[in-house]
Amino acid sequence: MQRRGLLIILSSPSGAGKSTLAKRLRHWDSSLRFSVSATTRPMRPGETDGVDYHFWDEAQFKQSVADGGMLEHAHVFGNFYGSPKAPVADAIGDGCDVLFDIDWQGAQQIKNSTLQEHVLSIFILPPSIAELKRRLETRGQDSAETIAKRMQKSWDEISHWDGYDHVLINDDLDVTEQRLRTIIEAARLRRSQQPTLMDHVRKLHDEFGGV
C-alpha cells in the first residue's frame, strides 16, 4: 500500500453546505469513498436508499449497534444516525480516503477510536445565521417545522467548532472547495499516511553507509 486512507470528517450546522461540498470533492477525486450513513429519518425527495443514506427502521438500527456494526452513532434531530463500520474498514484496507458527513458527536467518537491518527476533521461555518436560514429554506426539502427545529439546534453544533483540525467559512462555494482540496492534499502527506516511508529511509540509510 503506497498510501494509508484518511478518515475525512465534515461537520457543520444543517444547511451550511457540507453535502454540497462532499459531492464536489467526490467529483474532484473519484477515488474518495463516501461513508453512507444509516438513519431512521424519512427519505427526502431526490434521495436514494443506499446512496445518500441507508434508510433503516429503528429495530434494524439498534440491532446493528448491538452487533458492533457501527463505527459511531448518535441521536440527531430526534432520529438515529450512524456510520457502518465494514465499508470504512474496506476502504482503508484499499488505501482509499473515506469522507464522512456527520455531526460533532460522531466526529468525537471517531477521534477517540483507534483510528484517531488517520482522522482529518473539518468544520464548516456559515457566513451568517441569516444566510444559514436562507440556505435551509431554499434547499426546499424540509417542512417549516423541520427547518425551525434545525435552526434551533444549529448553535449546539456550531458550539463544537473548536474541536476540529480546520474550520472554513463557506461563503463562496468555489473558494471553500479549493480550500478543502488543499487541506486534503496536505493531510495525505502526513507521516502517518505514508506506510512506505520507513522502507525508503532504510534504503537511504543503506546507501548512505556505502558513500
- Contact string 141-170 vs ligand ADP (x = CB under 6 A): -----------------------------x
What are residue 162's phi and psi, to 5 degrees? -85, 5
Residue 37 interacts, among ligand ADP, ligand 5GP, none and using kind-specific CB cut-offs from 5 to 8 Å, with ligand 5GP
Give CA–CA dist 208/203, Å, rounded: 8
Give CA–CA dist 75/73, Å, rounded: 7
CA 48-171-75 angle, 5° bins: 45
Q: How far is the CB of 112 from ligand 5GP (least distance, A)?
A: 13
Give CA–CA dist 117/88, Å, rounded: 15
Of 9-17, 35-43, 74-82, 190-198, the segment contacting ligand ADP by CB under 6 A is: 9-17
Does 40 contact ligand 5GP by CB under 6 A?
Answer: no
Question: According to CB under 6 A, which residues from 69 to 108 bind ligand 5GP?
Answer: 72, 74, 76-77, 81-83, 101-103, 105-106
Among 5, 7, 9, 14, binds ligand ADP (CB under 6 A): 14
Give CA–CA dist 106/18, Å, rounded: 15
Q: How far is the CB of 185 from ligand ADP (least distance, A)?
A: 21
Identify the CA nearest to 83 among candidates 102, 60, 111: 102
**Shorter beta-carbon distance to ligand 5GP: residue 139 or 179:** 139
Q: How far is the CB of 142 from ligand 5GP (least distance, A)?
A: 8
- In the block, which residue shows the cell 548512505? 208
